[in-house]
Amino acid sequence: MNSQQTIKNLHDLEFDNQFTREMPADPETENFRRQVSQACYSRVSPTKVRQPQLVAYSKEVAELLDLSTAAVESDEFAEVFAGNQVLEGMDPFAMCYGGHQFGNWAGQLGDGRAINLGEVLNQKGEHWTLQLKGAGPTPYSRTADGLAVLRSSVREFLCSEAMYHLGVPTTRALSLVLTGEQVLRDMFYDGNPQREPGAVVCRVAPSFLRFGNYQIFASRGEIEPLRKLVDYTIRTDFPELGEPSREVYLRWFEEVCRRTADMIIHWMRVGFVHGVMNTDNMSILGLTIDYGPYGWLEDYDPNWTPNTTDAAGRRYRFGNQPQIALWNLVQLANAIFPLIEDAEPLQQSLDEYADGFEQGFQQMMADKLGFSTLQRETDLPLIEELQQVLQLVETDMTIFFRRLAFLKAEGEPTSDVAELMAPLMDAYYDPAKVTEDVRAKIVDWLQRYLKRLREEQSSDVERRERMNLVNPKYVLRNYLAQLAIDKAAAGDFSLVNELLELLRHPYDEQPGQEEYAGKRPEWARNRPGCSMLSCSS
């Protein structure tokens, strides 16, 4: 197949299922809830649904899989990616893993509502695992039904692709399909469950391995399966590190730490809050995985969490994400310790995570502020003080940084406070609260910031272009996702697809789309789905 060819028939997809071929399988083939030991996965088939209907798909992910538009828009596509049809070459399975949830060891968890269909081998020689989320019960479903509803599926589908186009490491989403079924969910955990439309998202990634895949074996003292899984991971996803050995295990852990730091820096850059950073939701590839009760930081509040379950402790709040990632890496280090039997080199990688994150975060902030180079003596105090300034009054993070690029550093400094503040006023949720005292503190910071910009060799136009490459204009605000969900529930998929197109170009101005770049409206401040969310999906 040459680079111009695309697959018009789904039956022409080529599957090369390395994971099920090489990893130890659960010998039990019946689908019932159970503890699974000495195995990486259990084979299980998706549950058939009544009436699959394609809501939306990502053309970029279809291209990764060499799928033509005709193939994706065929009736058979909806059947396959709702779970009604298993193509020849697929080998469906659910993975076994454990994890720490909110800091506590939860034992065996596993793919409770996710079923991996198989690994597509595309024409570039890349392996892409196809995974259906919401495709029915598995041996790991515990007391749940293994299904997903439209509201959570819309959010997962849109955010996966939005994050990719923002430049954030992430799993991808190929498709969103309605099942034609009604699913019972207690959205508010208040004893009043409601029936909601069921849906399935097809997620796509090189691998869906999580920290918890390694933890479960270590917790049970199953060292040989642990070693097999680590060796497999290195050979398939980190081959550049060399053949598995003790030294390569250490290099692998160091690389996982580096990738995790990079991912968190990107989250902080765009104001993304994951909401459920349990160790079973941490990708071994450093990808954002499992879009549950996530949120975008609108008001710049480092203590904000989008997760109602986390409202009391705020463990997974925005400002705590770097520390939680480190905590999770410590748990991964504990899991692979039996293969190393020496804590010192593992601790060294953890220390390097902390150092690497700090340096990367500082450089990222310098980029957001338009500095061509990071001058620590002047820039670090400015960055630290800005984080305080942003909390003086309710300030929209996305708009503030985007509008900061409109400040003028060229020419004579202005003494007109209103003129200086004008580009930023759209970022404040209640401009009346920008009191004289607050205004004075903001202006003081702005004047020192402009003084620093005047040391740059670039023009205002060049600086604005640089800043607009890292400060998005459009993000998937929760209220926008909820509006799309409301329409889709009524059978109108237009806003899902309109937002998908909008979020393909988050850094572009996109004339005519400015309504999607505005602050969260007041009606959405406390509306369910528009502010905090539960894990119910």
Q: What are the sequence ranges of the domains in the chain? A: 10-212, 216-356, 371-404+406-467
pLDDT averages per 10-residue partition of the chain, 537 residues: 73 97 97 98 98 98 97 97 98 98 98 98 97 98 95 97 98 98 82 91 98 98 98 98 98 98 98 98 98 95 95 96 98 98 98 98 98 95 98 98 96 89 97 96 97 93 97 97 96 98 98 96 90 69
Beta bridge partners of 199: 178
pLDDT at 1: 40
pLDDT at 536: 57
Beta bridge partners of 307: 533
Structure tokens at 202: 């097809």
pLDDT at 532: 75
Q: Which residues contact 138 (CB under 8 A, 6 or more apart)?
A: 31, 42, 44, 94, 110, 111, 112, 113, 114, 115, 146
Residue in the structure block whose two tokens are 């076994």:
96
Cα distance between residue 224 and residue 103, in whole Å: 26
For residue 97, count CB atoms less than 10 angstroms from its CB and return exposed for 0-12, middle for 13-18, buried for 19 or more: buried
Q: 76-79: which pairs have CB atoms within 8 A and are 24 or more residues apart?
A: 76/10, 77/10, 77/175, 78/52, 78/53, 78/54, 78/177, 79/52
pLDDT at 189: 67
pLDDT at 2: 43
Q: Name the catalytic one among 66, 111, 280, 396.
A: 280
Q: What is the reported pTM? A: 0.97
Whether 416 is a known active-site residue: answer no
Cα distance between residue 275 and residue 532, in whole Å: 10
Cα distance between residue 537 and residue 273, in whole Å: 18
Q: Among residues 140, 327, 107, 112, which one has the least CA distance to residue 220?
A: 107
Q: Which residues contact 383 (CB under 8 A, 6 or more apart)?
A: 362, 365, 366, 369
Cα distance between residue 214 and residue 216, in whole Å: 6
pLDDT at 4: 53
pLDDT at 193: 87
pLDDT at 191: 77
